Amino acid sequence: MKSVINKMLFFILISMVVITSLLPFLWFVDTSLKSQIEITAIPPVIIPSGSLHFYYSAIIRYDLLHYLKNSVVVAGATTIITILLSIFAGYALARLRIRHKGLILGALLLVSMFPQISIAGPVWRILQSLGWLNSYQGLVIPYVTLTLPLGVWIMTTFFNELPRELEKAAMIDGCSHIQSLLKIMLPLSAPGVFTAAILVFIYAWNEFFFALLIMTNRQYQTLPVGIALFQGQYTLPWGEIAAASVVATLPLVLLVFVFQKRIVSGLSAGALKG
């Protein structure tokens, strides 16, 4: 009887957490499917009419697809560069004889703890001197810097736990360190690569502060900044903001939903093996 009660309490707790987490997104979905009259109605209308007017307006009037393209470019480039650097750095820290490895990993962790506002000024000045303000590379480089510690930590953990005998056998057969990495280590560490890639992509997709600071030109603004700058004639266009937010969030929801098993296995493997 006690076990049944515990299971029920656990189920209720998990349900409350899930509902609390999904409620803002569901509210935006509900708002995006209403008409303008339903949004301002008193008492509030809970069940929407199912109108797609706000989606059409967000795409045509506010050029939502333009911001979506910029986010895809920035998040995709950040993910590719970060994962490539993380693979080589993680392999070097896990397998090569490097002094003070623990100090290096600790420094990476320390760098990742800096609040964004504390480095905003130097980053802006560097990008200005390079002429990279309002450019894709001007946003991708800071994102790579901010996400690289996470990628290196994940890859180092996975490479550390792979059997060294496999690598030694490959080198006996004539493989170099690079060949061993590409042919032996990398396929076995695929869960770690996939997990790191998903987390880096989500960060780059959602990041707002640096995107607002660096991208003042509308041509290069990403989804979070573009949506935040939606303007109406007399009030904020809540319907269009809700529709755009759904479009911005849905790819991440689908990505996590489709690949949730790999993400969980990657994170749990790193936790258990670390």
The structure tokens 């002094």 sit at 99
Cα dihedral: 112, 118, 124, 126 (round 10): -70
Domains of the chain are 1-51 (no CATH), 61-273 (1.10.3720.10)
Q: What is the pLDDT of residue 108?
A: 83
Q: Which of 8, 18, 143, 7 is nearest to 75 (CA)?
A: 143
| Whether pTM exceeds 0.95 | no
Number of H helices, E strands in the chain: 15, 0
Sites in the chain below the pLDDT cut of 50: 270, 272-274
Q: What is the pLDDT of residue 232?
A: 72
Q: Strand, coil or helix: what is 274?
A: coil
For residue 223, the Cα-to-chain-centroid distance in whole angstroms is 13
Q: What is the pLDDT of residue 233?
A: 67
Quickly list DSSP for 30-52.
HHHTS-HHHHS-SSPP-S-----
Q: What is the pLDDT of residue 266?
A: 63
- Sequence-distant contacts of 103-107: CB under 8 A, at least 24 apart: 105/152, 105/153, 105/156
Q: What is the pLDDT of residue 268?
A: 64
Q: What is the pLDDT of residue 274?
A: 43
Q: What is the pLDDT of residue 269?
A: 58
